[in-house]
Amino acid sequence: MNYLHTMIRVADPEATIRFFEVLGLKEVRRMENEKGRFTLIFLAADEDMNAPGERAKAEVELTHNWDPEDYGSGRNFGHLAYRVDDIYATCQRVLDAGYTVHRPPRDGHMAFVKTPDGISIELLQNGVLEPAEPWVSMPNTGSW
Amino acid sequence: MNYLHTMIRVADPEATIRFFEVLGLKEVRRMENEKGRFTLIFLAADEDMNAPGERAKAEVELTHNWDPEDYGSGRNFGHLAYRVDDIYATCQRVLDAGYTVHRPPRDGHMAFVKTPDGISIELLQNGVLEPAEPWVSMPNTGSW
């Protein structure tokens, strides 16, 4: 069997796509369903670390229901995790784009950020970087 | 970058592992943290359809907090999706193990089941099978 995707529901698909683009994911296809009044958008890492030059097979599916609803949140779902080549560069892009790094990579290895709907994304460095500023001194923000 | 895993919190890790084993995932490693009073368990598909003979790289991380808590649930997280070789065989194993197939594969293509904590898992047939009984006549159960 094969893992295909994790589906999350999003209030503002374009805001969510912008967020994931900062991390390194891109839209790969989209399906609009007029009758069901929803849009499905699939994102994937532009290049899979395990298969250089190939788009990643693992996807995130964004479900956008056209009629607004409060999706709420629970603790049963934790996060999506990605390995990155340079966690400092990724977190800097996140900050530059105006998002919060909720758990900065003080240890050169692990960080948490959140989508516009508050879904936690774990970033894990491929290996470990030397601890470095401004990350070492950066406090946590909220929960993740 | 690389997708690594989706983390879900589970009340009963052994019950959740049994459930995922029925689908075709196996425990690949486990970490106990006495101080934090939690256990992390990683599961992966025993064989990756895209790489025959290799264990799948995409994992599910189960977090089990030793002190019981109500994790609740939200609609912001939807489901985890897997492609399977024979959706009828997988769903039959699910039934035989005493679980419910909430959305039976009436169309020979798609089914939904749920973990003991109520997390939705989508099963998608690799291609499409001819519609067949008992699936065609099997009604939905609850939500997923």
Chain B positions in Cβ-Cβ contact with residue A52 (cut-off 8 Å): none
Shortest Cα distance from A70 to chain B (angstroms)? 8
Indicate the pTM of the whole model: 0.93
User: Across residues A115-140, what is the average pLDDT?
Assistant: 96
Secondary structure (DSSP) of chain B: -EEEEEEEE-S-HHHHHHHHHHHTEEEEEEEEETTTTEEEEEEEESSBTTBTTS--S-EEEEEEESS-------SSEEEEEEEES-HHHHHHHHHHTT--EEE--TTSSEEEEE-TT--EEEEEESS-PPP-TTTTTPPP-S--
DSSP A13: H
pLDDT of residue B110: 98
For residue B122, indicate whether it is catalytic: yes
pLDDT of residue A128: 92
pLDDT of residue A58: 94
A67-93 pLDDT, tens digit each: 998 888 888 899 999 999 999 999 999
User: Across residues A37-51, what is the average pLDDT?
Assistant: 91
User: Across residues A28-54, what is the average pLDDT?
Assistant: 92
Q: Minimal Cα distance from A118: which residue of B?
A: B76
- pLDDT band, residue A17 (cuts 50/70/90): very high
A132 or B71: which leads in pLDDT: A132
pLDDT of residue B56: 87
B29-84 pLDDT, tens digit each: 999 999 999 999 999 998 888 788 888 889 999 999 999 988 888 888 999 999 99
Cα B76 to Cα A16: distance, rounded to the nearest angstrom: 13
